[in-house]
Structure 1
Amino acid sequence: MFFDQAKIYIRSGNGGDGMLSFRREKHVPFGGPDGGDGGDGGDIIFAASRHLNSLMRFNRQAHFKAGHGKHGNTQKRNGKRGEHLRIEVPTGTVIRDAETSQVLADITSEEQEITVLKGGKGGRGNIHFASSVNQAPRIAERGEPGNELWVTMELKLIADVGIVGVPNAGKSTLLSVISGASPKVANYPFTTLQPNLGVVELDDFETFVVADIPGLIEGAASGVGLGHDFLRHVERTRVLIHLLDGAAKEPLEDWAMINQELALYDIALEKRPQLVVLNKMDLPDAIAWEPLIEEEIKKAGYSFMSISAATQQNVRQMLYRVRRMLDEAPPAKTRHDDEIAVIRAENEEGFSIEREGDGWRVRGKQIERVAAMTYFEFDATLLRFQKILDSMGISQALTEAGVTEGDLVYIGEEELEWGE
């Protein structure tokens, strides 16, 4: 079975905690701080693999986590960085935030790698907090938590040429004739329920990749049938072979309907170079249709040819025409080429305060990050955290909201008791 969609959970690694430590040597009674830094957490990286052609593995495994950074140690020894997690996907995979649908990565070429989630930063050891007035700081940082996200993946086949048309136009037969692909072929609608790829070889070892896009029906752009599932695979093609069924009742109406569905799905597809090909010239109906269809297609400004995929009549000439069109065609641009964004931990100073049960909830990316990195069991780090609350205006905002001594204040995963 062909899997071209998947939803998975990804989580980058936590940073390791910084060490709070002092030199302990026999002849050094007042050894200075020597706590090392924690290692950074591992990243989540998506990488293209030419050995994959579907998203099947993600149907069996949905959770992926990078390694955590190791904690800092004594004698200024830093913790080891967490292992990055490299997730291999087929070339042509688009990765989106499952909640917002924002495009995070578009894997379009071999050897491409994109970091989607950065690991948490390692906490600093107490060697970083020494100063002329505090030569024995009892302050260190915990590691920054990693980032987590549910993402959707969508595979859009990367092919030079896409064969489109109504069901039973002969697309699978044509692909099997012009390449080494072996799609299932039969004489009834919707034989093909998944795209097929084939490599066409011309003279002098010249090749290009062709995709047989399953038959489109009216309403495909609105999701009727499996419209969206099929149309996504047309986006990356540079040239279209629009195959007409010469045995159909109204081939011209079919041609107009498919063009309309392409434009409704993505307006750029309407302008994609298109060779209109009348198939089944081995049948009397197709021979009868040919003069009228050729006249109307050329009048509309499109190139036209007639073939018989079954007998291979004119098929070679058609391939040379397609090759010339590819040489002249610009690279295909998909709808989300300008949307790409990489999600990283953000330092946003904004915050909000709201009632939560008998206490107060403070929300904000930066303050939640600071809270997660604070050792609350040490007076010095607790005092430092209080100063950060003051400098960010959170203390004053809580007071104005009505916080009183003894109230619980929740920041991230931390539960704190408010004191005067």
Structure 2
Amino acid sequence: MFVDHAKIYVKAGDGGNGVVAFRREKYVPRGGPSGGDGGRGGDVILMVDPGLSTLMDFKYKIHYKAKRGEHGQGSNKFGRSAEDLVINVPPGTLVKDAETGEILADLVENGESFVVAKGGRGGRGNARFTSSVHRAPDFAEKGEPGEERWIVLELKLIADVGLIGFPNAGKSTLLSRMTSAKPKIADYPFTTLSPNLGVVDPGLGKGSSFVLADIPGLIEGAHEGQGLGYEFLRHVERTRLLVHVLDMSGIERDPLKGFYAINQELVKYSKELSEKPQVVVANKMDLPKAQENYKIIKPIIEKSGYTIMPVSGATGHGIKQLLQYIGEMLSKIPKQEPVEHIKQYRIIEEEPFKISKGGQVFYISGKAVERLVAMTDLENESAVKRLQRTFKRMGIDDELKAQGIKKGDTVKIGNIEFYYME
């Protein structure tokens, strides 16, 4: 089963909690704090596996969660960091944020990887908060929550040449003639329900072989989702050359009208796609009236700037010449770069916090503030007092007063609610 689109949920591991501990050894009076830090949570990593060719596995498993880091221990023992969760994807996988639609990565090369969700940092143990003022801190940090998000995976086949054309134009027959691929072939529309790939050796020497993709038949309105075309147009985007197959017998439709209709669909789907180099193949030349149609259509196609080559997928006539011509054209067309380079994690400067008001509730947002609350043990009085001091240093208290907060009003940060007190 060929699947080229999937939506999955990824959750990186939370960091392990820091621990509150004190040295209790014989002959060591007032040994001091000895709580160790928690370990880092595991990242969620997408990695290209050349052995995969479909996203089918993601139809059966949607949720992926990395493990959290171990908690710290006494005697200054740090918790162990969790292993990263590696998810294998096929070459040509485009990764998008499901909420914003932003392209996060374009994974093409074998072994290429991308951290799609970063694990949380381990919380600090109480030994890390010792100072000249606080000689015996009785609080520690909780682990930082790991990142989580819904992502969309889209597979775009890695092929040099794409066969396009209406259903029953003979693309699958040509693929079987040009390669060792064995696609399903029958005399009815949409025989090809998924893209087929084949490797072609045009006989032009070492390094001249290329990958050929038979794209399921397009119809008018494909760019709007009609027929099967819209589902598979993305697979043509990575190709360097398009081979436009026409049924020159004209049994089902006028070849010239079909040629213009398909090209119009390419224009409507993507301007870049419509501008790719294109070779026109006059197929089924062994059938009656094909020669007659070819004589009429050939000068019109060539006047439009395209090369048209007569072949017969049924008899094999003209296949060798076509392969050599495609090989020569590919030698002049440079390899394409991935659509999007991998986006690196970077620190983005943002406002330390934002405060908005709804009724008697003051909402404080901002990654730094939300992370501070998430990593604070709100059951520990000393930890809460430290959080309050940190908020004051950040200017949150002053801003709340400026916005008219009163004693007893509710302050909400993430999912946590506080009551304001002077």
Give the structure-2-normalised TM-score. Answer: 0.93
Between 1:400-409 and 1:308-317, the stretch displaced more is 400-409
Q: Which structure 2 residues correspond to residues 149-164 of structure 1 after superposition, within 5 A?
A: 149-164=149-164
After superposition, the C-alpha distances for 1:201-242 in whole angstroms (9 at most, x for unaligned) are: 343575321100011111212222233211001001111111
Which residue of 283, 286, 289 corresponds with 1:285? 289
Partner Cα distance (1:27, 1:398) in 2: 51
Alignment correspondent of 2:222: 220
Mark the CA change 1:117 to 1:344 in structure 2 (over 3 Å): closer, same or farther.
farther
Kept in 2, the 8 Å contact 1:372–1:413? The answer is: no
Q: Check if 1:379 corresponds to 2:381.
A: yes
After superposition, the C-alpha distances for 1:142-199 in whole angstroms (9 at most, x for unaligned) are: 1110111111111111111100011111001111111121111112222212111111
Kept in 2, the 8 Å contact 1:116–1:343? The answer is: no
Between 1:396-405 and 1:287-296, the stretch displaced more is 396-405
Which residue of 336, 340, 347 corresponds with 1:337? 340
Among all aligned residue pairs of Structure 1 and Structure 2, give the percentage whose two residues are the same amino acid.
48
Kept in 2, the 8 Å contact 1:116–1:342? The answer is: no
Mark the CA change 1:413 to 1:70 in structure 2 (over 3 Å): closer, same or farther.
farther
After superposition, the C-alpha distances for 1:276-316 in whole angstroms (9 at most, x for unaligned) are: 11101101222112223221222222222110011000101
Partner Cα distance (1:24, 1:316) in 2: 85
Deviation, 1:333, is 5.0
Which residue of 275, 298, 308 corresponds with 2:302? 298
Alignment correspondent of 1:122: 122
Which residue of 254, 276, 280 corresponds with 2:280? 276
Q: Check if 1:319 corresponds to 2:323.
A: yes
Which residue of 389, 392, 399 corresponds with 1:390? 392
Kept in 2, the 8 Å contact 1:118–1:345? The answer is: no
Partner Cα distance (1:202, 1:328) in 2: 15
The one-letter code of the counterpart of 2:209 is: T
Partner Cα distance (1:97, 1:153) in 2: 9
Kept in 2, the 8 Å contact 1:116–1:344? The answer is: no
The one-letter code of the counterpart of 1:255 is: F
Deviation, 1:359, is 4.3
Partner Cα distance (2:373, 2:362) in 1: 15
Deviation, 1:271, is 2.2
Kept in 2, the 8 Å contact 1:104–1:343? The answer is: no
Between 1:347-356 and 1:283-292, the stretch displaced more is 347-356
Kept in 2, the 8 Å contact 1:15–1:38? The answer is: yes
Kept in 2, the 8 Å contact 1:118–1:344? The answer is: no
Partner Cα distance (2:185, 2:421) in 1: 76
Kept in 2, the 8 Å contact 1:347–1:366? The answer is: no
Q: Check if 1:133 corresponds to 2:133.
A: yes
Partner Cα distance (2:390, 2:135) in 1: 21
Which residue of 327, 333, 353 corresponds with 1:350? 353
Q: 3-state DSSP class of the match of 1:395?
A: helix
Partner Cα distance (1:218, 1:390) in 2: 64
Deviation, 1:410, is 2.4
Alignment correspondent of 2:23: 23
Partner Cα distance (1:2, 1:373) in 2: 44
Alignment correspondent of 2:363: 361
Alignment correspondent of 2:408: 406
Q: 3-state DSSP class of the match of 1:30?
A: coil
The one-letter code of the counterpart of 1:354 is: K
* CA RMSD, 1 decimal: 2.0
Partner Cα distance (2:344, 2:150) in 1: 14
The one-letter code of the counterpart of 1:256 is: Y
Partner Cα distance (1:15, 1:9) in 2: 19
Deviation, 1:342, is 5.0
After superposition, the C-alpha distances for 1:370-405 in whole angstroms (9 at most, x for unaligned) are: 100112233332222112222333222333444333
Q: 3-state DSSP class of the match of 2:331?
A: helix
Mark the CA change 1:333 to 1:291 in structure 2 (over 3 Å): closer, same or farther.
farther
Alignment correspondent of 2:246: 244
Q: Check if 1:233 corresponds to 2:235.
A: yes
Between 1:17-26 and 1:134-143, the stretch displaced more is 134-143
Alignment correspondent of 1:201: 201
Partner Cα distance (2:310, 2:340) in 1: 35
Deviation, 1:343, is 6.3
Partner Cα distance (1:285, 1:344) in 2: 63
Partner Cα distance (2:296, 2:127) in 1: 85
Deviation, 1:345, is 8.6
